[in-house]
Structure 1
Amino acid sequence: MQLPLNALRMFDAAARHLNLTRAAQELHVTQAAVSQHIRNLEERLGKPLFRRLPRGLALTDEGQALWPVVAQSFERIEQSLQQVAEPRPREILTVGVVGTFAIGWLIPRLGQFQQLHPYIDLRLLTHNNRVDLAGEGLDAAVRFGDGSWHGTHAHMLLRAPLSPMCAPALAQHLRQPADLAGQTLLRSYRRHEWDGWFAAAQLPAPLARGAMFDSSLTLAEAATQGAGVALLPARMFEHMLLQGRLVRPFIQEVNTGAYWLTHLKSRQPSAALTNFRQWLLAQLERDPADDGGHDAMDNPPGTIGQRRKTHEISQEY
């Protein structure tokens, strides 16, 4: 069945406003023209699309079923026309980003990237550090680790040492690192992180019995609610520290890896990916908070007491 485009446009406007006068004003035609087009459309369909009320219109069941399809169709046509009219084509860039980095660093800066590169259609897919570039159709992925992933180029973005973090009420009972032995130690799926931190603090590691999480975001949320002490990259949770939802009772850190931008060696980077990588690196070079993963202040946000010596160890996983 062929339906006149003008009649569908009149129907769409009338369905949005539920008023023939306002629909006519939007389309710069007379109310009689809108009414006639809708009447012709109803005759072609053999169904009423509106119920005429004393003060406006109401969609019939048939009208309610038709309107979303018509509205979406016009929206897609408008988007396609805008793309055709643009002086240069848009480039789609699909990037997988570990959730912690996405929320803790990338998303607050995305507006600037879009302003600089309006023709890049950036699509972000978050993950929990398990990602398959080829299988998921990703152009690149930001992940945490040692930079060694088979078949990929890896560009280091920033280090993110882990330090204990917990709710303020729990922190009141922690005077020295050894006090952690009596607390619930929340764990990630990466084994031995707590062992590494206690080794860096030159203390024997207690048996960790806390819950295990596959995401630092849920790990941090559990810590804010008093479920225990979590090992987290403070750089990615500065907003929680500044808000007072989390506290760093001790400054000791353990360096288990860094955030990397990775892409397949078998695939030539697109112009969009090159621009994204250059923007990321430029942002990090200008970021005063990035000094290789260590805080430059004597008392970083959320820390208690005076600064203590920071230890680092390396760990592969």
Structure 2
Amino acid sequence: MDRPNLPLNALRAFEVSARQGSFTQAAIELRVSQAAVSHQVNGLEELLGVKLFTRTPKGLLLTDEAVALFPVVTESLERIGDVLDRFLDGRYRETLHLGVVTTFAVGWLLPRLDRFNSAHPGIDLRISTNNNRVDIPREGLQMAIRFGAGHWSGIEAVPLMEAPLTPLCAPGLAARIGNPAALAEHVLLRSYRADEWPGWFHAVGLRCPDLRGPVFDSSVAMADLAEAGMGVAILPSAMFADRVASGRLVRLFEAEIVTGRYWLTRVAQKPPSPAMRQFEEWTLKVLKADARAGQTGSPSFPASCQDPMAGFGT
């Protein structure tokens, strides 16, 4: 059985009338006469062979058929509108909703965002930052850059880069820390990942001191406190290379640990859109270029602290 050729104007008139509950208000929104709206709706009713509205002194009441049709028409018109909105200056623009853990956003992506926009003017990149806890479908995202081991149920993960952790602090505090054991005398800023400080102390052959104080869910917040001289933070140094280069933070020791890496993730069951594929390709390309240029390498650290075991017996 052939489906009826439904006129778009009639569907629009039905949607606005159902939403407004009045032909008069629908006519005002559509900027046409009330008679024109009524004519479109009557034509749609004849085409479908059903009544869509019951006219009452208080306005329009939706019939059962209209109740079933209304959400479908509304969603369809919104999707058409979304696609039409992507055509700017004769070019099609695709929106990409991306969630990014704040550390990676600040330390890598945002400084390079102009380069992405120049390379892909047809993609409207919408970024929302998070503390590494993200639910792609629930938050209306298409992709997310997160830190971890790369194992998330139902998620396809593409490795981006490792993020070795090492102690960073303000210059004034760094001058008073001559070897790893001296860290026990200072505030050690820590994240919710409890294995970071113990793992680093193990790497330099020491027992981790008792950790006290608040637990942070943001590496950026810890970096801010460390820069203010409030303690020593264990951080991915590559993400704070600008602060180290400017002298606001000092890398204390060569020793570092790897507890995970950054990943570009998406829901495995949904095929990637063209914008998703282009963003992935661009990210991997720029990361490779950065690696060749040495921009993701470890920053320098004071000569007096080059040996993490300085001052200790073998």
TM-score when scaled to structure 2?
Answer: 0.68
Does residue 124 in structure 1 map to residue 127 in structure 2?
yes
Give how far 1:110 is off. Answer: 0.8
Secondary structure of the corresponding residue to residue 250 of structure 2: coil
Name the counterpart of 1:58: none
Give the match's secondary structure for 1:115: helix
Look up the match of 1:237: 240
Q: Give the distance between the partners of 1:160 and 1:198, measured in 2 at CA.
A: 17
* Contact 2:252/2:305, CA 8 A, preserved across alignment: no
Q: 1:274 aligns with which of 267, 272, 277?
A: 277
Does residue 1:214 correspond to 2:217, yes or no?
Answer: yes
Question: What is aligned with 2:12?
Answer: none
Matched, 1:305 2:270: no
Which residue in the other structure is 2:141 paired with? Answer: 138
CA RMSD, 1 decimal: 2.5
Question: What TM-score comes out, normalization by structure 1 length?
Answer: 0.68
Cα distance in 2 for partners of 1:97, 1:275 equals 17
- Partner Cα distance (2:267, 2:155) in 1: 4
Alignment of 1:75-94 (within 5 A): 84=87, 86-94=89-97
Deviation at 1:253? 0.3
Report how far residue 168 of structure 1 moved. 0.8
Contact 1:251 1:303 in 2 (8 A): no
Cα shift at 1:85: 5.6
The alignment covers a number of residue pairs equal to 231
Give, in whole Å, the separation in 1 of the partners of 2:86 and 2:264.
29
CA–CA distance in structure 2, aligned partners of residues 290 and 203 of structure 1: 34
Partner amino acid for 1:305?
S
Q: Is 1:259 matched up with 2:259? A: no
Shift of 1:210: 3.3
The alignment-based identity, stated in percent, is 47
Report if aligned partners of 1:155, 1:262 keep a CA contact under 8 Å in 2. Answer: yes
Q: Secondary structure of 2:291's match?
A: coil
User: In structure 1, which of residues 157, 171, 176 is the aligned counterpart of residue 174 of structure 2?
Assistant: 171
Q: What's the CA shift string for 1:120-165, capped at 9, x where partnerless?
A: 0100000000000110011100000111111111111111100001
Deviations 1:164-203 (A, max 9, x none): 0111111111111111111111110111210000001111
> Secondary structure at the residue paired with 1:287?
helix
**AA paired with 1:173?**
R
1:96 maps to which of 87, 94, 99: 99
- Amino acid of the structure 2 residue aligned with 1:134: P
Instruction: Give the distance between the partners of 1:173 and 1:103, measured in 2 at CA.
Output: 29
Counterpart contact for 2:178–2:304, Cα < 8 Å:
no
Change (3 A) 1:255 1:227: same
Consecutive unaligned residues of structure 1, counting only runs of 5 or more, are 6-79, 311-317
Taking structure 1 as reference, are residues 162 and 293 closer, same or farther at Cα in structure 2, changes over 3 Å only? farther
CA contact (8 A) 1:166 1:226 kept: yes
Paired AA for residue 217 in structure 1 = V
- What is the CA deviation profile of residues 7-47 of structure 1, one whole-angstrom value per residue up to 9, with x for unaligned ones? xxxxxxxxxxxxxxxxxxxxxxxxxxxxxxxxxxxxxxxxx
Are residues 180 and 260 of structure 1, via their aligned partners in 2, closer, same or farther at CA, if it must alter by over 3 Å? Answer: same
Mapped partners of 1:91, 1:303: distance in 2: 47
Paired residues of 1:160 and 1:293 also in contact (CA < 8 A): no
1:193 matched to 2:196: yes
The one-letter code sitting in structure 2 at the alignment partner of 1:114 is N
Q: What does residue 16 of structure 1 align with?
A: none
